[in-house]
Structure 1
Amino acid sequence: MTAIPSWNLTDLFQSPDDPRLLDTLTRIAQAAQDFSTRYQGKIATLDAAGLAEALATYERLQQEGSKPASYASLRFAADTAPENGAHVQQLREKTTTALLPTLFFPIELARLDGKQLEAHAAAPELANWRRYLLQAARTASHTLTEAEEKILAQKANTGSRAWVRLFQELTSSLRFAYEGKDLSLSELSVLQYDSDRETRRKSAETLTEGLRPHVRTLAYLYNTLVQDKAVEDRLRGYTYPEQARHLHNELTPEIVAAVTDTAEAGYPTVGRYYRAKQRLLGLDSLTHYDRYAPLSTDQPSVPFEAARDEILSAFADFDAGYAAAGKAFFEGGWIDAAPRPGKQGGAFCSYVTPDLHPYIFQSYLDRATDKNTLAHELGHGIHSFLSRGQSYLNFHGTLPMAEVASTFAELLVFEREQAQVTGEARRALFGRVLEDSFSTIHRQTAMYRFEQAVHAERKQGELSVERLSALWQEKVGAMFAGAVTLGEGHSLWWSYIPHFIATPFYVYAYSFGKMLALALYFRYRQEGAPFAKKYVAMLSQGGSQFPAELVAPLGVDLSDPEFWQGALLLLEDWVTEFEATC
């Protein structure tokens, strides 16, 4: 049997002692200074050819300068030992210093007249940077002076980034004493999927009691970062807390509202499912530790090797090139899936840079949900892998579009699975996919509403643990439409959610991505292979176009409310099929 892999980071650097780490930043620091000498104060005078040359140089500096800190961050995720955290901090600080002379460039670019930026974007010499230039025009009013931007950039390492690092170190080091075992947060969370209700109850109680000694610290940390964001938003002229995220995601407030309002309108569908699940389990009521109770007592282990084969087969059914991109991760040592003490929780795909390749991170524990997570992160990874033909500034798609790629990959695996199972196994499969959809669409929307409430109330002062907990119970509880009772212990579970800390309002990207992926999956079932080619072509564009432009060739209009409603209609059909089996 193949061992669960750990990644090989030597494509970046050989070791934390590799002299190239500091040599790279020394070289970048000099090149950045040369760039400043050549271009600072002159951006407004450049013609299209001159600006294209400046942009290409700026891209190279940002790309190469990002690599040392990326390497250190990946090592820290795999092993959150204090010395690894210190190494991340050291390289982040040196990266900030090295690239500081380039900070003038986006600032001067943003100061250009909107018509001048649009003219540049239309120039053939600047076609590669069209979206970047148009986005610069959109963000111009929120860019500060060069001196102010430098201050914020340098203070971030001992400000917001330091608070985020503290959260990561605190939560990754948490240990929970359960039944004579010393478990990590991810290991304890697995027990919420156990078929024995008492095991689920005890593990939920253990999680709450393990968080309780730290919750005031975590509340203070969260309050501080919310206020820090409010201060920066005010300085940059944002008029509401979510505005910076919407602008960064290249989505209008109307599109985001259409997504989240439609998701909220689907809460009764969530309630229908959980009432059916309650009947199936034979329980008088469902509580928070029953949400993930398995629907079948037969919970076969899914070894990593089997998951790999199933996922790649599903990808091959969709498109050969798509599957080949996924296979490269297993053959190249780009996945770290082995669980171990000190490893950061969660899962992610790090895109790194287009001249290298992405890396995938998770802790694989032989569950069906771990297979789904692997497929999800491979969706991200394939998106990144296919978009390596783009230059650095066009490489990263927006957060919501990245989530489309990951959730669509999961749906491809689901399609293959449902064709292979019948009876109780089929019911359990639909239950799992529905619960995952509810978690991705409706729970993330509920968490978005929680964030909105926290940021709104923080304007009046710090929120107590009790108030944060009350808001958490209210917003998350709403998604179940009365079908699930959230016990008091659940009220502290907001405190370990990393997105609230590191990327405020990120969570609605999951709702957007899942709903869009469902609609695209429906189109694929109608069109077949021709759709697959268009979809792969869309992924290869990376972030070179705005989201609305990327999906237009697929027949999607993001501004159409009926389009979003269609995604929930598919879920309603699945719930109806599930109810018929109960």
Structure 2
Amino acid sequence: MNDTDYKMVWNLDSIFNGGSASSELEDHMNQTKLGVSELEELIQKVTPVPEQLENILKRLTEMKVRISQIRSFAICLLSVDPDDQGAQYYRGEATVLQSRYDSIMSALKRVLASIEEMEWGSLLASENLKDYCFILREFREVAEREPSRDVSNLMVDGYHAWGQFYQSFMSSIRVQVRGEELSVGQAINLRTHADDSVRRESHEALVAKWTEHAGQFAQILNHLTGFRLNMYKSMGVEDVLHIPLAQNRMKPETLDAMLSVMDKYKEPFAEYLNVKAEMNGDPKMKSYHFWSPTSHDYQGMEYGEAAALIEERFHAFGAEMGKFAEKAFREGWVEAENRPGKSAVPICAGFPLTGESRVFMTFPGTFKGVLTLVHELGHAFHNHAMKTVNGMNKSYPMCLAETASTFAEMIILEAAMDEAVTDQEKLFLLDEKLKRSVMNFMNLHARFIFEKRVHEERRKGFIPAARLNELMGSAMEEGYAGALDEVPVHSWIWTPHFYKTESPFYNFPYTFGYLLALHLFARAKETGKGFEDDYMALLRDSGSMSAEDLVMKHLGEDITEESFWEKGMELCVKDSEEFVRLARSQ
């Protein structure tokens, strides 16, 4: 019996004591502003000499880490209290500092792009720059696509400000369910409620709220998309996927191969949805029943039980992962209390200066909540694995970020499957696995289709809310192969990924990470406990290699080929076939 007292409220004071009124935070901010100002002067005099470049890269790394520390702290404060004006101030100041930092980086990239080829080769061969070769090559390649300083300055109060306004607006919304006032996050958590009438009521309450505010959200999305398109135009970029692919360090051929496989394998997941709908007494899967549990008895779990389970399973995988879980839970890295006023979006915030992370969610007391918690802890473990990596090489792309989070989910799901005794337990767990497959192969495909079409239509002018509903509805029909009833046409409003200014098209990276995690987990099962070292080596390399090179180095696979993606997809198809078999034998 585990008698550890797992606190549900995190400790932020160990990072900056005093919240948004912290004098430590103010001092940190002032020193960072001074450091950025010094860098702005230094970049004007930089020459392509190894010692100079090494110095400026070290200074850039220091400022990058310091700005991240401020931004992450502000985001954490606003997650628990969106009305914290001090936190809003620091988030705004961090955005300004980031814009200035980006301008310095753009200037450096232009310097690198101007270097003659022979001199460039000599630079890369320098002992001073051996740790920076990958990132320097990337900087040189992307130099022509960098926004101008004027555009970067406009992004602070234009582009990024709209994204921040979306977050604040969403956090302020309240709905009534069963006479109780709930935040959006609390209402969305009711999707897993055992009572179908509660699921329906929360769904209808949210739909009413989306209908009420659709015009305001349409303005936000239009302004964000319009700004992005104009910014791309100023950079000479026509293809809206060009930047997202570059951010993910992926080739177009890799995305095309993955999308092609997703298209081919819709039928098994549509059959799963149809069978589950039959279990709910419906001819077709209603969107608000998708997350419903197949078994009410296997559903509940207290937070302390969840934390103890995660610690135990992480230890079973490897010593480093086990020690990490203990540290996260015992030292107050997790905010999980279920209370009103919190943000709707689970997050993992990295604090690279102190080598820590913080995980935020609203724990609903369900197995799905356990998987959400472990997903965010997977992100935190990725940060932990990279503690020893040079700061300039810590920035890994979104597609690889989602690998570690999905891998962590697999550890919990696989262990639960191994311990399942009854068919009901197996059905419940297969359902949880398949929900993730459907999200990655159907929902995220629908989001990709929607986002692409929104960018196409926005070129022609403003897109009204009613038209956004139509675009979302048709994308959902296509993504789910017609297997969904009462299609959630307002999901363009409550899907935060459409409003992430740093990461457009934050949809296909999840699918990439999901399928890659399947491969990694299959290797882990073959290798045994010693796989942890190989896994951490891959995570450490994730900030200094392309996606294609990383997978080739650590798995020996070519991800531009459909055959790679089909291997992972076939594992998920087996889950669907087993679910259908068990469900129809009941």
Change beyond 3 A, Cα 1:136–1:296: same
Change beyond 3 A, Cα 1:555–1:181: same
Residue 437 of structure 2 is matched in structure 1 by: 437
What letter matches 2:339 in structure 1?
Answer: R
Alignment of 1:466-505 (within 5 A): 466-487=466-487, 490-502=488-500, 503-505=503-505
What letter matches 1:86 in structure 2?
Answer: Q
Change beyond 3 A, Cα 1:289–1:66: closer
Deviations 1:145-188 (A, max 9, x none): xxx32x22322221112111111111111111122111111211
- Measured in 2, the distance between the counterparts of 1:132 and 1:28 equals 23
What letter matches 1:51 in structure 2?
Answer: L
- Measured in 1, the distance between the counterparts of 2:405 and 2:449 equals 23
- Measured in 2, the distance between the counterparts of 1:157 and 1:232 equals 13
Residue 458 of structure 1 is matched in structure 2 by: 458
**Do the aligned partners of 1:246 and 1:253 also contact (CA within 8 Å) in 2?**
yes
Residue 126 of structure 1 is matched in structure 2 by: 129
Residue 577 of structure 1 is matched in structure 2 by: 578
**Do the aligned partners of 1:191 and 1:199 also contact (CA within 8 Å) in 2?**
yes
**Residue 162 (structure 2) pairs with residue 163 (structure 1):** yes
* CA drift at 1:82: 5.0
* Paired residue secondary structure (2:285): coil
Change beyond 3 A, Cα 1:229–1:37: closer
* Paired residue secondary structure (1:467): helix
What letter matches 1:553 in structure 2?
Answer: H
* CA drift at 1:133: 0.7
* CA drift at 1:112: 3.4
Change beyond 3 A, Cα 1:82–1:323: closer
Residue 144 of structure 2 is matched in structure 1 by: 141
- Measured in 2, the distance between the counterparts of 1:255 and 1:97 equals 31
What letter matches 1:192 in structure 2?
Answer: R
Q: Percent identity?
A: 23
Uncovered stretches (5+) of structure 2, i.e. residues with no partner: none
Residue 306 of structure 2 is matched in structure 1 by: 307
Q: Provide the TM-score with structure 2 as the length reference.
A: 0.93
* CA drift at 1:313: 1.7
Change beyond 3 A, Cα 1:375–1:209: same
- Measured in 2, the distance between the counterparts of 1:299 and 1:305 equals 16
What letter matches 1:560 in structure 2?
Answer: E
* Paired residue secondary structure (1:529): coil
* CA drift at 1:36: 4.0
Match for 1:112 among 108, 112, 115?
115
Residue 22 of structure 1 is matched in structure 2 by: 26
Deviations 1:409-461 (A, max 9, x none): 11111111011112211111101111122113331121011100111111111
**Do the aligned partners of 1:260 and 1:511 also contact (CA within 8 Å) in 2?**
no
* Paired residue secondary structure (2:386): helix
* Paired residue secondary structure (1:157): helix
* CA drift at 1:119: 4.5
What letter matches 1:54 in structure 2?
Answer: I
* CA drift at 1:35: 3.5
**Residue 557 (structure 2) pairs with residue 539 (structure 1):** no
What letter matches 1:168 in structure 2?
Answer: Q
Q: Provide the TM-score with structure 1 as the length reference.
A: 0.93
* Paired residue secondary structure (1:43): coil
Q: Which deviates further from its counterpart, 187-196 or 424-433?
A: 187-196
Alignment of 1:185-264 (within 5 A): 185-264=184-263
* Paired residue secondary structure (1:176): strand
* Paired residue secondary structure (2:176): strand
Alignment of 1:73-88 (within 5 A): 73-81=75-83, 83-84=85-86, 86-88=88-90
Residue 11 of structure 1 is matched in structure 2 by: 14
* Paired residue secondary structure (2:21): coil
- Measured in 2, the distance between the counterparts of 1:205 and 1:479 equals 23
Deviations 1:285-334 (A, max 9, x none): 33222222221132442111111111122222221112212221112211
**Do the aligned partners of 2:269 and 2:573 also contact (CA within 8 Å) in 1?**
no
What letter matches 1:498 in structure 2?
Answer: P
Uncovered stretches (5+) of structure 1, i.e. residues with no partner: none
Change beyond 3 A, Cα 1:548–1:27: same
* CA drift at 1:101: 7.8
What letter matches 2:185 in structure 1?
Answer: S
Change beyond 3 A, Cα 1:465–1:35: closer
* Paired residue secondary structure (2:259): helix
Change beyond 3 A, Cα 1:456–1:38: closer
**Do the aligned partners of 1:354 and 1:391 also contact (CA within 8 Å) in 2?**
no
- Measured in 2, the distance between the counterparts of 1:116 and 1:198 equals 70
What number of residue pairs does the alignment pair up? Answer: 574
Residue 44 of structure 2 is matched in structure 1 by: 40
Change beyond 3 A, Cα 1:443–1:522: same
Off by >4 Å, runs of 4+ in structure 1: 96-101, 113-119
* CA drift at 1:97: 7.9
* CA drift at 1:39: 4.3
- Measured in 1, the distance between the counterparts of 2:143 and 2:93 equals 29
What letter matches 2:485 in structure 1?
Answer: T
What letter matches 2:138 in structure 1?
Answer: Q
**Do the aligned partners of 1:401 and 1:513 also contact (CA within 8 Å) in 2?**
yes
Alignment of 1:342-491 (within 5 A): 342-353=341-352, 355-422=354-421, 423-487=423-487, 490-491=488-489
Residue 55 of structure 2 is matched in structure 1 by: 53
* CA drift at 1:530: 4.1
**Residue 320 (structure 2) pairs with residue 318 (structure 1):** no
